[in-house]
């Protein structure tokens, strides 16, 4: 992984699951990592400490990335402590299960804010530096729910992730001439805290490869996009064949 070496990355929602795996993969490639969290400060600090113990540079940064003012403050703090942000992984998300008869306006607004608006806010905050340096990598973590509207996720989550893929393509088209690539990774069922209820419900047995994915497998897809400047505007599906089953 040559492109990510000696860079600085911000991973939102980096305290656990996919975000943690991405942070560790970036660090292994020689990238300094800002591990963002909203509530799980101890877990985020543990991720940063693990990176430092391995000889890397990392720090944990608390911020609600669905709020513009806190995003701006976080980005300034990251740049002060680690340096200019070259790589952004918009991983922060939530998937509260809600049926058609249960979902409220507040539920919908919160899902859009956390799963979609946060990516817009973080991207806008880091773009000036990336454009000035004419180099940047932005990877948005989408979901298979954006494609299939599965009954196992709420319509708000599916809508937000579909919007995230549209945001990805819109930024990619405009930023390609400036050396900034923007892509998405769309995981299927992954063995994380968020995916555990579905795994316990036996959903993994329906996946063609016969199992759920791992956070490390998603992280490797992210690293592919970080290290390839000729891929942009794409959504890489990592789902064990679920879309053609």
Enzyme catalytic residues: 157
* Total count of residues recorded for the chain: 245
Instruction: Map residue 206 onto helix, strand or coil.
Output: helix
Cβ contact 11:34 at 8 Å: yes
Cβ atoms of residues 60 and 48 within 8 Å: yes
CA separation for the pair 103, 49 (Å, rounded): 39
Element (H, E) at 182: strand 180-187
Alpha carbon distance 93, 56 (integer Å): 26
For residues 237 and 126, what is the distance between their CA atoms, to the nearest angstrom? 25
Alpha-carbon distance of 133 to 153, in angstroms, equals: 39
Q: Residue 10's CB: how many other CB atoms inside 10 A?
A: 29
Nearest Cα neighbor of 188 from 114, 240, 116 is 240
Whether 9 contacts 57, CB under 8 Å: no
Give the position of tokens 């430092």: 52
What does the block give as tokens for 7? 């860079």
């Amino acid at each position: 992984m040559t492109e990510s070496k000696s860079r600085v990355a911000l991973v939102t929602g980096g305290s656990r699951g996919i975000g943690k795996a991405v942070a560790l993969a970036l660090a292994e490639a020689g990238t300094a990592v800002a591990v963002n969290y909203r509530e799980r400060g101890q877990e985020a600090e543990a991720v940063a400490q693990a990176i430092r113990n391995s000889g890397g540079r990392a720090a944990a940064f608390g911020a609600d990335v669905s709020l513009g003012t806190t995003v701006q403050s976080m980005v300034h703090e990251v740049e002060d402590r680690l340096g200019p942000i070259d790589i952004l992984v918009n991983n922060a998300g939530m998937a509260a299960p809600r049926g058609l008869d249960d979902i409220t306006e507040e539920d919908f607004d919160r899902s859009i804010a956390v799963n979609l608006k946060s990516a817009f806010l973080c991207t806008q905050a880091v773009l000036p530096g990336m454009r000035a340096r004419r180099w940047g990598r932005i990877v948005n973590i989408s979901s298979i729910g954006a494609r299939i509207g599965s009954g196992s996720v709420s319509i708000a989550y599916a809508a937000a992730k579909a919007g995230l893929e549209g945001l990805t393509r819109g930024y990619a088209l405009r930023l390609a001439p400036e050396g900034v690539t923007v892509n998405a990774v769309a995981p299927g069922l992954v063995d994380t805290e968020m995916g555990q209820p579905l795994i316990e419900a036996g959903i993994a047995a329906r996946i063609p490869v016969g199992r759920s994915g791992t956070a490390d497998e998603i992280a490797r897809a992210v690293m592919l996009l970080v290290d390839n400047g000729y891929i942009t505007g794409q959504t890489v599906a990592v789902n064990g064949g679920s879309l053609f089953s």
